[in-house]
Structure 1
Amino acid sequence: MDDTPRVGIVGAGGIAPPHIEGWLALGAEVGILRRTGSDALAARYGLRIHATLADLIQDSGIVDIVSPTRTHVGIARAAFSAGRHVVCEKPLAATADDAQALADEATAAGVRLFPAHVVRYFSGYRSVHERIGAVGTITELTARRTVAAPAPAWFYSQDAGGGIIRDLMIHDLDQALWLAGPVVEVSATQDPPAEDGFVQPPVSAHVTLTHAGGAISHVRADWAEPGTPFRSTLEVTGDRGELSVDTSASDAEDESPASAPDPYREQLADFLDAIRTGREARVTPADGVAAVVLVDAAYASLASGHPVVI
């Protein structure tokens, strides 16, 4: 029996190539939905092109959603209805209610939903997670993520699935949950604030999380000037020691060293093995929902000017 994965990619933006390359490295047959930019990707990677979403879903066993956040729910629901597994770029949805609905609908349909929180597969972050017991009781976590502001306009509409907290900071909100556990209070600031729901870069956001176990996480994200190199850092402090990550000296998202495994391929390999074996992947639907819950709370804090209790 041929068990070659058949994957349909929906989306042709900057995150599409790492997903496509990861699937191809795993031996998958990959198709892509026709939209702006898809023809160039199809020619570059030798992909099948599908004129409609229905055709792509029919021809695929796994639908990989790398399109703008506001489109995630409709595409995932169409895939679930056809009995297809779904890989979905973070965030799962623009709101926690929609993210939870997707998780519930995947379960009801008997298919798998995999939130693509790729930072969990970066070797430095994974190493911190594996060694977290060495710091003892976690007291403080400090994370910062800086990158040149993206080009597409939808990223700047907080009401249409964009926003720096929802798109960029969510990586480190997920890390805070993974390392320090559930959160009971969220407080957020952003400079400059959004005007009429739109963010104007350069922009920075800072979110403080109070964890149920007593730890405090300070998380900052920056959309900076064009040409700014990507960098993310993480420091975890406990009563017995510290652990840290700095991607300027390790596996940065846009250029992993040859000695490090490609995190996108590792992520997709984990998802594929989870489908084949029935086990849980490193990132679960509940993890994807929990991250969006923090995003919602952060924006509620921005709107009210006060901390939000989870």
Structure 2
Amino acid sequence: MLDLHVGLIGAGVMAQTHLEAWITLGARVSVYSDDGHHAHLAQTHSVHGVEAATSLEHLLADCVLVDICTPTGSHKELILAAVATGRHVVCEKPLAMCPDDAREAADAAARAGVHLFPAHVVRYFPEYEALHRAVTAGAVGEPAILHFTRMTAYPDWAPWFQDDTQSGGILTDQMIHDFDFARSLVGNPVRVYAQVREIHDGHHIAAGTAVLTHASGAISYFHGLWGQPGTSFRTTFRIAGSGGVLHHDSHETTAFRVLAHPADKEDDRIPPVGLFENPYAAELRDFALAVTTGRAPRVTAHDGVMAVRIAEAARESARTGRAIDLTAEEAIR
């Protein structure tokens, strides 16, 4: 159990999700939100010792680690306020709306000597953990083609998702998960091409596609969907390389399988994955242990900056209809 005081900023869906994970981990939590909804959130979880802070200043003065779960447009200023008081920060993805803001936040944390953790929770889902271990161990040889899909119902529980200037739309808010994961597998991209189609007539629907060409020579394909109400959550990935193929579909009863060639071998198989760990708890535990023990976390501030850069390039490509060359960008270094 964690002996840690967390200051949680926000009271929406993600704040509730993070709060439940912190409670599971045994952390002491105070909450605050500008809209005042944090009071109800604290009351609902008062049996676990959750308290409502009276102001942002009160929250920052009385915690060790700050967890930011607010709309994306507010992230940078909240990060800067937290690191200015010497607090470590967990920030729900994306780190900021644009690469310059993400870089400014990361640089401020570095100057203050505190950790800044971007909460890219997909890296902590067991299927993706198993994928990363397998690819790193050479299960598919040299990765060549990566294909990711992600779909769910349109996030209409908050109006800011419909405003691309606040959320970044499907490319930044949803597909950034898979951009980040592909980069963790095969390195930085050098070229990005993307398209987006949105419908705001009756039900809100958004679909995005993107192609990343990586410096390693690998090519990643992405498909994202925010669908009609009732659209079930589904993810897939398929990684093909010189030594085989890894495939996963969350709708299949077999959660993870390896298709290796020329023939399956005992040592080609993925060890059983534990499906009982809450990925949000695993993520926050990793970040908390980095703060309390000094060990390196799985996801760094630089990872968060790069994910925002890729998403911004995808948005620019979708706006202009042209591929975006990242080799001349300062962010790829």
TM class, shorter-length: over 0.9
Shift of 1:184: 0.3
Q: Is 1:234–2:237 an aligned residue pair?
A: yes
1:243 corresponding residue in structure 2: 246
Query: What does 1:144-155 align with in structure 2 at a 5 Å threshold?
Result: 144-151=149-156, 152-155=158-161
**What RMSD over aligned residues (CA atoms) do the two structures have, in Å?**
1.9
Q: Secondary structure at the match of 1:202?
A: strand
Amino acid at match of 2:142: T
Q: 2:142 aligns with which of 137, 140, 148?
A: 137
Deviation at 1:188, TM superposition (A): 0.5
Taking the aligned partners of 2:15 and 2:166, their CA distance within structure 1 comes to 20
Deviations 1:238-283 (A, max 9, x none): 11101122223459xxxxx994211111001101111122221000
Unaligned runs of 5+ in 2: 257-272, 327-333
Q: What letter matches 1:33 in structure 2?
A: Y
Counterpart CA distance in 2 for 1:102 and 1:121 is 23
Question: TM-score w.r.t. structure 2 length?
Answer: 0.86
Partner of 1:191 in structure 2? Answer: 197
Tell me which residue corresponds to 1:18: 17
Deviations 1:97-135 (A, max 9, x none): 111111111010011100000000000000000000110
Q: Which residue of 1 aligns with 2:166?
A: 160
Shift of residue 36, structure 1, vs aligned partner: 4.6
Q: What does residue range 280-299 of structure 1 map to in structure 2 within 5 Å?
A: 280-299=296-315
User: Do the aligned residues in 1 keep the contact of 2:126 with 2:275 (CA within 8 Å)?
Assistant: no
TM-score of the superposed pair, with normalisation by structure 1: 0.92
Residue deviations 1:198-254 (CA, integer Å, cap 9, x gap): xx8211000100011111111111000111111111111111101122223459xxx
Q: How does 1:103-122 map to 2 (within 5 A)?
A: 103-122=106-125
1:17-73 deviation line (CA, Å, top 9, x unaligned): 221111112211101104353233212211211121111111111110000000001
The answer for the alignment partner of 1:57 in structure 2 is: 60
Q: Check whether the contact 1:118–1:264 (CA below 8 A) recurs between aligned residues.
A: yes
Question: In the alignment, which of 285, 288, 294 is matched to residue 278 of structure 1?
Answer: 294
Query: Larger C-alpha radius of gyration, 1 or 2?
Result: 2
8 Å CA contact 1:156–1:164 kept in 2: the answer is no
Q: Contact 2:67 / 2:90 at 8 angstroms: preserved in 1? A: yes
What one-letter code is carried by the residue in structure 2 that aligns with 1:299?
A: R
Q: Does 1:80 align with 2:79?
A: no
Which position in structure 2 is the counterpart of 1:27?
Answer: 26
Distance 1:39 1:248 in 2: 38
**Residue 162 (structure 1) shift:** 3.3
Partner of 1:197 in structure 2? none
Whether the aligned pair in 1 keeps the contact of 2:188 and 2:215 (CA below 8 Å) is yes
Q: Distance in 2 between matches of 1:226 and 1:92?
A: 28
1:267 aligns with 2:287: no
Cα distance in 1 for partners of 2:28, 2:251 equals 34
TM-aligned CA deviation for residue 88 of structure 1 = 0.2
C-alpha deviation, 1:161, in angstroms: 3.2
Tell me which residue corresponds to 2:95. Answer: 92
C-alpha distance in 2 between matches for 1:203 and 1:103: 30
Matched with 2:176 is 170
Question: 2: distance between equivalents of 1:201 and 1:144?
Answer: 19
